Amino acid sequence: MQTLEAHVSIKVPEEYVLVKRTELQELRDETERGVTWGLADMKRELHIPKSLPWIREAVLKPNRQEIDRKNGGWCVFGEGTGHRYSVQPSGARKWFEENWKRIDWDEPLEGYE
């Protein structure tokens, strides 16, 4: 069996930096520390292709027990007129990643698409 050894040089453009994947995730987490999202922020940042009412009705409300801050979760539910939902980014990212398959993305909600 033959063995070849090669040394290759790859130029990385000046505006790029190579970092470990774990370090990149730590940097992302750090930028979100102490930040609170509203529902529109969550929709945008998590690239959720549904309307805000759909997200509330088809995802948040059915999973309230699990995600409500009162139960140790990542969402503060807005109650009544003028009260907004507040979302902890790191908790929402993790939950959506782990539960993506549980969500019925095709669930029709009249007037909420």
- Residue 34: per-residue pLDDT: 78
In the predicted model, what is the mean pLDDT of residues 19-43?
Answer: 85
For the stretch 76-108, pLDDT in tens is 998 777 779 999 999 999 999 999 999 999 988
pLDDT of residue 112 exceeding 60: no
CB 54 within 8 A of CB 109: yes
- 86 and 38 in contact (C-beta within 8 Å)? yes
CA distance 68 to 45: 20
- pLDDT at residue 17, rounded to an integer: 85
The confidence score (pLDDT) of residue 113 equals 53
Rounded CA-CA distance 51/54 in Å is 5
- Cα–Cα separations (whole angstroms), residue 40 to 44, 51, 55: 6, 9, 10
